[in-house]
Structure 1
Amino acid sequence: MAKLGPAPEKDGPKESPEIAAQRKRLEANVAAIDGKLKQADILFVRADQLIDAANDKRRERFTESLFGPVPNFYSSVLPAAFERVPLQLKRLFDAGAEWISRAWAKGIVVFLLIFLVPVGAAVAGRSFVRNMAGRVDAKQRANKPAEPTVQQCGVWALRKTVRSTLPLWLGLLVFYLIVSAAGLADPTLNGFLLRAILATGWAIFLIALITYSLLPDDSAWKIIPSTDAVARRVAGLLWAITAVWWVDLVLNLTDTAVFTPYQVSVLRSAIFAALYGVILAAILLAIQSGTVMGKAALSGWRAWLFSFCGAVAGIIIIAMLFGYESLARFVGMHAVSTAGVLWIMYLLHLAAESISSVSVISGRTIDDDLDEEEDMGAPSLLTLRIIVSLLLDIAIIAVGVTVLLLLWRFDWVEVKGWIQAAFFGFQFGNLHLSLQSVLIALGVFALGLALTRFVQRWLTGRVFTGRHSESGLHESVRIGIGYLGFVLAALAGISYLGVDFSNLAIVAGALSVGIGFGLQSIFNNFVSGLILLVERPIKIGDYIQVAGLEGTVKKISVRSTEIETIYRQSVIIPNANLITDPVTNWMHLDKSCRLDIAVGVDYGTDVELLRTTLLDVAQQHRGVLKSPPPVVHFAGFGDSALDFELRVFLRDVGERIRSSSDLRFTILAALRDAGISIPFPQRDLHIKEGGFTPEAGAKRKPTQGSR
């Protein structure tokens, strides 16, 4: 149709009959295809309606079965169930014996392969894992901290759990593959076998996770603080409820392969519901009985979680007693599954948190082991770690929530739709927000920070290495590149989200007045920090005095400057004070400084001998400069001594206090060797005749108010 072009107008020249016929035929084909597409759209709409109706019907039936009490539970259902239990056990035994006979019929080789090869695979896998992890374990034992953090404990428990259960998973996988290859898993049995193997692997993983979380080899590596007795009691109860969950699930799966009467199914649900409720209540009581664990469980948000678990245990027991055995069993089974998933999510969060220096839960700094040389300003390694940890947490939450929704019987089609809606986002005005775009924007931001850090390291390691320019210049350039890269990375990430910067400029202009008044001091410090970085009146390493404080400059940021006093105190000074207030910089032009040491000697001292002695002491000190030369200054005639000053110039102002002390020690020793004495203040009291006498003082009358 595009090649034919538009149809001729009525008043225009007519096209040839062949072209007109071809145009008519193509238009008919387009109309037919259009009709088919519309029919397909209608079928898609009807299919969606049928799926929604089926899901609604399924939810309705599930809700009725879950919240409907069992009629005549105690009067007729339980007695009939006890009568049918022996027959049901016989059915299960016969089904197992029949499957074993089928395996035996395949031949002795196949039979041995089914039961021996998985064991061999598990043993070989265990040996392989031990050999691979041996070097890592040796290195970790050498660097094992005496008091590990909760992040280190979580990572260790998760790693040990995976390492110990991996061979067992391998054995279960080999068992399933051999059974399937031997033709011993028919369609009905295949569903039971696969789900039973998955349930077994999950139960093994949970048991190992409980062991390494509560009962590690070293008690310092417990994730939850507790005594050994309480930890063993709680771990035993958790093992028990995990075993109950596994038996319940496997017996429930046997319904797909072996017929189970309604009464027996009700009895089974009631028994397992009672076990769930009782064991869960026992776990809570064991936790509360522990002094350390109970205090940890009943503080903060854990107290709400503890109360919620107590309510769940009460709901299970009450629902079971009142005949709602389906509801009680459903809550108990899924409480165990949910607790396992949430605990794994928490350990994965600790693993993600271990690469970050800021704890999300506690809000305090952890693992903050960066050296000053590694601090690259704004885009530091700490910022990169936080971004990576945040991305990992988002992935953990997304996967964990999806698994929990599927465990709680939500339909995969609905869950998939929710995931797509969250991932591909929604329209907010002219801005399209989605999890995908947010994650990519964070990735762009992290990549920008990584590139900035690479440029900073390249400048530090290649450009500035071996050059004789000032270290303060290096630091200013490095910090400036850091902040520039941070801003550019942020703008790149924001622009990927589709934010219009023209709108931001309008908003910024509208807020400029409010910012000028409300954030005046902050912007004042910011601009002052830029001035300090550009003009460099003070540099990192300078010894300064400002506002009655003095110390060494440790860090200059765009808002404040950090100095360290001689008492090892860190003082944060706003940059505006360094611009507006007088600042004494002992090391602005060079590191040398003048030091004056006062010396007082007796009036009978040979002053030339004193001059020679003091100059010799100054010239022999390694920290005193030869030029300008030391000078002995006659300061004046004191009340008790002749006052002199030894004026010297030191190489490094940082050695001022130490050099002054060393010089005074040496001067004292040299004066003693030269026989020059240092007088102490003396006063002579002369009493004139007719002056004050004790008798005259006794006759004086005390004045008012005297004592």
Structure 2
Amino acid sequence: MFLIRRLCLALTVLLMFACAAVAQADPPRDVDSQRWESTAVRAETALAGGQASDRALDSLRSEIAGYRQRFQSAQSDQNERISTLQAQLDTLGAAPAEGQSEAPDIAARRKELTDQLAQQRAPVVAAEEAYTRADGLIREIDNTIRSRAAEKALALGPSPLVPLYWGGAAQDLVRSATRLMSDTATALTTDGARTDFISRLPSFLMLMFLSLLLTLRGPRWVHAAVNVLRRRTRRGTGVWQFMLSLGQIILPLLGVYAFATAVRISGLVGDRAETVMVQLPIWIGVALFVRWLAEQTFSRNDDVATLPMERKLRTQARYYVTLIGLMLVLKTALTFLGRMDDYGLETEAVLNFPIIVLSALLLFRVGQILRVASLKGVSEGEEPQDETHFRLRIVRIFGKLILLLALAAPVLAAIGYANLADALVFQAIATLLLIGTGMVIQRFIADAFELITRKTVEESQSLIPVLLGFLLILSLMPLLSLIWGARVADLTELWTRFSAGFTVGETRVAPMDFVGVIMVFVVGYAVTRLVQGALRSSVLPKTRLDIGGRNAIVAGLGYTGIIGSALLAISSAGLDLTSLAFVAGGLSLGVGFGLQTIVQNFVSGIILLIERPISEGDWIQVGDEMGYVKDISVRATRIETFDRTDVIVPNADLITGNVTNFTRGNSLGRIIVQVGVAYGTDTRQVESVLLGIAREHPQVMMNPAPYIYFKGFGENAMEFEIRAILIDINLVLDIRTEMNHQIAERFKAAGIQIPFAQRDIWLRNPEMLHDQNAVDRHHTTQARPEPTPPRPTRDKGAARAALHGVGDMSDADGADGGDGGR
């Protein structure tokens, strides 16, 4: 009954939370002072005597918790009125010092307000005192119950290894069976029992037939339906298989319930057997659920298995987990018989010991399987690379913990710590079942997501399954705490503490206040974004503002709206911002040192938005980086270079450094195109041709008019420049290219030559090269018997002259465009 009781508590805890939330939302009722005093005195007396049962203490605790909730609500009932009265007193100013007089009307008004304030504060002070008393009593009751539970768990009882207790345990077990049989025999011999059975025989036979049909054929029907669905469906296979697999629990359980009902209506069993028949569906339901969970977690099908480990390990795990379910049924049945027949401690220790040992052995084998769990082709020590591997890693850690518990429980039970051994084994089993259930539900969530979106979780990369899994884990935490000995009262107390919130300065902040803060901020943020969108798309384009001014207005409105939304959200929660002044003052020192650069960039970003020395779309150059401004944020500015790379420049560099803005305010800009012509060319003709090229280009402005600059006489050519103002400087490269094409074409048509540098080599004392060549030929003839063709004399002599310094080289620049030489 232990596991069933824990599961029932786990199912009701959520209802308890819901009731607590509804109770907090209801308006508080007036507190009966006399009843509260009576309840408090009874609780104090029970705690002092130490004889009250846990059930009585729980009842007292529940009653006191209701009073405490009313007292907490009463503390805030008069807050608005008290704040108003205090503000009125503050308006009158400080009371005069002793010996100083005050105007009679002001003094009378001050006394009236002071009396009203004291009258309003009286019930609040009384509620605070009563709340403190109730809270203290609840703490004492909880400590008392926890101490009793700890003493019971650590109590040393009779050892089951003492042979003296074995005979008594066997006698008690035989006596229970004898009572069951005698009670049934008595019912059979009762007058009219057979007559009643004959009259109910059709119903009895129908229920028995239905029981056999559902119990024996039901699982096969479900298995066949799952196989058909697997072959015929492509979408939502996991969802349909999960729903059909529940039939493996429901159909056999209905068959067991039909059998129990048939036995009960037959009238052939006694009261004890009828009581057992009432409990039988529960016991079989536990076994069926454990078997179903084993099939889902360690399925034969690789696509359905929650833990896709090796097939051999999954087969072993299914077998051992199913046997663990049978051990749970046996444990529950023995506990039920013990309570019915009032077994002694010795009998309970002897009868429970084999169950503990067998359960620990099965748990040990499951722990071994989980400890070595791995995917096919993945070693045990390999680091997880995805969610499945990470899940297996957690399973391995849990398997090691199970091994420790399974080894410790039989030893403790043999010594005599039966309660502690029971807790270790069966709470570990319950935890194992809870985690398995959570993993199966998480797999169902993933399958349902795939059915709805037509994409797997891995393909969609969505956060929705992750958030649902996180909520699932949070919902399992209370159930896990209940399994390991926590009471429902402990969870409700934790929820109460959480709902009460915490105090900041003189203001108490509750979790619901945070929800309100988030909602107000989200609404403010959404309104800000809507207004920004309307300004950007509808209002500002109809004004004469340039794109930079529009972006500055939109960005400034966004920052103002976000800051305003945050302040409004904090104020809506009732937080007094002045109470945070000390905290802000302490943080300012850290901001000054640790966040100096960030604050500097933030202020620079505000300056950029206000002064607008640069705007989005401007062509700027910062240091060696040149490109277009794409985005101006609070901390930095993003520049897209001509190589299509993004450069993030801190805003402080744009304010304090040298920045060249080629398109500030407008897109006008100057272009300079250089060209050189050969000496002897008519310079007036060159000027006329270049001026015509500049004037004819559509991007060149006529006011100011383009100008041809005769730069001077260079080493190789006479140098000219086209200087013109362009309508759009962003097209400077295209315009420069087009002008160069026009220059080449028109110069060719006009016979104007563009020179290039020429070099001539002059040799001094060339007669020495002949003597040196003769010496070289003499040495070559002696070294090589066969003659080789002579190399060119001029090249070889030039090389010798360069190496030995026989002659020196001089050059002359040639700028003649006709033959390229002079």
Return the TM-score normalized by structure 2: 0.56
- Bigger drift between 458-467 and 623-632 goes to 623-632
Q: Distance in 2 between matches of 1:302 and 1:112?
A: 39
Of the candidates 309, 313, 325, which is equivalent to residue 249 of structure 1? 325
Contact 1:273/1:328 (CA < 8 Å) preserved in 2? Answer: no
User: Does 1:337 find its partner at 2:433?
Assistant: yes
Aligned to 1:527: 603
Shift of 1:527: 1.9
Aligned to 2:102: none
The structure with the largest alpha-carbon Rg is: 2
CA-to-partner distance for each residue in 1:123-162, whole Å, 9 max, x for gaps?
A: 999999999x98xx6xxxxxxxxxxxxxxxxxxxxx9755
Tell me the matched-pair count.
Answer: 589
Aligned to 2:649: 573
Q: Distance in 2 between matches of 1:455 and 1:520?
A: 33
Task: Return closer, same or farther for 1:341/1:450 CA change in 2, 3 Å cut-off.
Answer: farther
Please tell me the residue identity of whatever aligns with 1:492: L
Contact 1:345/1:397 (CA < 8 Å) preserved in 2? Answer: no
Please tell me the residue identity of whatever aligns with 1:584: T
Task: Please show how residues 537-576 of structure 1 align to structure 2 within 5 Å.
Answer: 537-576=613-652
Task: Return closer, same or farther for 1:327/1:425 CA change in 2, 3 Å cut-off.
Answer: same
Aligned to 2:38: 39
Aligned to 1:413: 489
Aligned to 2:152: 61
Aligned to 1:48: 57
Task: Return closer, same or farther for 1:183/1:646 CA change in 2, 3 Å cut-off.
Answer: farther
Of the candidates 221, 243, 248, which is equivalent to residue 166 of structure 1? 243
Shift of 1:613: 6.2
Aligned to 2:562: 486
Aligned to 2:354: 267
Contact 1:269/1:329 (CA < 8 Å) preserved in 2? Answer: yes
Aligned to 2:161: 71
Task: Return closer, same or farther for 1:174/1:668 CA change in 2, 3 Å cut-off.
Answer: farther
Q: Distance in 2 between matches of 1:391 and 1:443?
A: 19
Q: Distance in 1 between matches of 2:802 and 2:329?
A: 119
Please tell me the residue identity of whatever aligns with 2:480: L
Task: Return closer, same or farther for 1:684/1:619 CA change in 2, 3 Å cut-off.
Answer: same
- Bigger drift between 584-593 and 274-283 goes to 274-283
Shift of 1:544: 0.8
- Bigger drift between 537-546 and 160-169 goes to 160-169
Q: Distance in 2 between matches of 1:105 and 1:635?
A: 117
Task: Return closer, same or farther for 1:539/1:421 CA change in 2, 3 Å cut-off.
Answer: same
User: Does 1:473 find its partner at 2:549?
Assistant: yes
Once superposed, what is the RMSD of the aligned Cα atoms? Answer: 5.9
Aligned to 1:22: none
Task: Please show how residues 301-380 of structure 1 align to structure 2 within 5 Å.
Answer: 308-309=397-398, 311-319=400-408, 322=411, 324=413, 326=422, 329-330=425-426, 332-337=428-433, 339-340=435-436
Please tell me the residue identity of whatever aligns with 1:596: I
Please tell me the residue identity of whatever aligns with 1:273: A
Aligned to 1:381: none
Q: Distance in 2 between matches of 1:469 and 1:425?
A: 50
Task: Return closer, same or farther for 1:197/1:599 CA change in 2, 3 Å cut-off.
Answer: farther
- Bigger drift between 258-267 and 277-286 goes to 258-267
Residue 295 of structure 1 aligns to a residue in which SS?
coil
User: Does 1:449 find its partner at 2:545?
Assistant: no
Contact 1:592/1:652 (CA < 8 Å) preserved in 2? Answer: yes
Aligned to 1:8: none
Q: Distance in 2 between matches of 1:474 and 1:123?
A: 68
Task: Return closer, same or farther for 1:531/1:177 CA change in 2, 3 Å cut-off.
Answer: farther
CA-to-partner distance for each residue in 1:337-393, whole Å, 9 max, x for gaps?
A: 354367579989999xx9xxxxxxxxxxx979xxxxxxxxxxxxxxxx9xx999979
- Bigger drift between 559-568 and 263-272 goes to 263-272
Residue 294 of structure 1 aligns to a residue in which SS?
coil
Q: Distance in 1 between matches of 2:505 and 2:495?
A: 22
Q: Distance in 2 between matches of 1:276 and 1:629?
A: 96
Aligned to 1:438: 514
Shift of 1:580: 2.5
Shift of 1:405: 1.0
Q: Distance in 2 between matches of 1:111 and 1:302?
A: 40
Q: Distance in 2 between matches of 1:605 and 1:623?
A: 29
CA-to-partner distance for each residue in 1:190-226, whole Å, 9 max, x for gaps?
A: 66645765775687567556779x9559xxxx99xxx
Task: Return closer, same or farther for 1:544/1:199 CA change in 2, 3 Å cut-off.
Answer: farther
Shift of 1:615: 6.3
Q: Distance in 2 between matches of 1:177 and 1:462?
A: 67
CA-to-partner distance for each residue in 1:383-439, whole Å, 9 max, x for gaps?
A: xx9xx9999798555423212212324222222222222233344663434444334
Residue 481 of structure 2 aligns to a residue in which SS?
helix
- Bigger drift between 527-536 and 508-517 goes to 508-517
CA-to-partner distance for each residue in 1:424-464, whole Å, 9 max, x for gaps?
A: 33446634344443344334333433333333334334434
Q: Distance in 2 between matches of 1:443 and 1:655?
A: 50
Residue 508 of structure 2 aligns to a residue in which SS?
strand
CA-to-partner distance for each residue in 1:595-635, whole Å, 9 max, x for gaps?
A: 32322333355667756765676678776667766555433
Q: Distance in 2 between matches of 1:659 and 1:403?
A: 76
Shift of 1:310: 5.8
Aligned to 1:285: 372
Task: Return closer, same or farther for 1:232/1:350 CA change in 2, 3 Å cut-off.
Answer: closer
Task: Return closer, same or farther for 1:534/1:180 CA change in 2, 3 Å cut-off.
Answer: farther
- Bigger drift between 454-463 and 52-61 goes to 52-61
Shift of 1:315: 0.9
Shift of 1:578: 1.6
Aligned to 1:380: none
Shift of 1:471: 2.8
Q: Distance in 2 between matches of 1:633 and 1:699?
A: 45
Contact 2:360/2:407 (CA < 8 Å) preserved in 1? Answer: no
Contact 1:319/1:327 (CA < 8 Å) preserved in 2? Answer: no
Shift of 1:529: 1.2
Of the candidates 568, 573, 576, which is equivalent to residue 500 of structure 1? 576
Contact 2:298/2:315 (CA < 8 Å) preserved in 1? Answer: yes
User: Does 1:640 find its partner at 2:716?
Assistant: yes
Aligned to 1:14: none
Q: Distance in 1 between matches of 2:279 and 2:689?
A: 102
Task: Return closer, same or farther for 1:497/1:193 CA change in 2, 3 Å cut-off.
Answer: farther
Please tell me the residue identity of whatever aligns with 1:573: V
Residue 432 of structure 1 aligns to a residue in which SS?
strand
Shift of 1:641: 2.1
Task: Return closer, same or farther for 1:337/1:49 CA change in 2, 3 Å cut-off.
Answer: closer
Residue 759 of structure 2 aligns to a residue in which SS?
coil
CA-to-partner distance for each residue in 1:278-328, whole Å, 9 max, x for gaps?
A: 333233334399547732249999999688446414414532664646466
Q: Distance in 2 between matches of 1:462 and 1:121?
A: 62
Q: Distance in 1 between matches of 2:501 and 2:489?
A: 18
Shift of 1:249: 3.4
Q: Distance in 2 between matches of 1:243 and 1:631?
A: 97
Task: Return closer, same or farther for 1:396/1:283 CA change in 2, 3 Å cut-off.
Answer: closer
Of the candidates 295, 300, 303, which is equivalent to residue 382 of structure 2? 295
Task: Return closer, same or farther for 1:232/1:677 CA change in 2, 3 Å cut-off.
Answer: farther
Q: Distance in 1 between matches of 2:528 and 2:473?
A: 30
Task: Return closer, same or farther for 1:401/1:597 CA change in 2, 3 Å cut-off.
Answer: same
- Bigger drift between 244-253 and 638-647 goes to 244-253
Residue 550 of structure 1 aligns to a residue in which SS?
strand
Q: Distance in 2 between matches of 1:427 and 1:447?
A: 26
Q: Distance in 2 between matches of 1:68 and 1:234?
A: 44
Contact 2:356/2:410 (CA < 8 Å) preserved in 1? Answer: no
Q: Distance in 1 between matches of 2:311 and 2:540?
A: 58
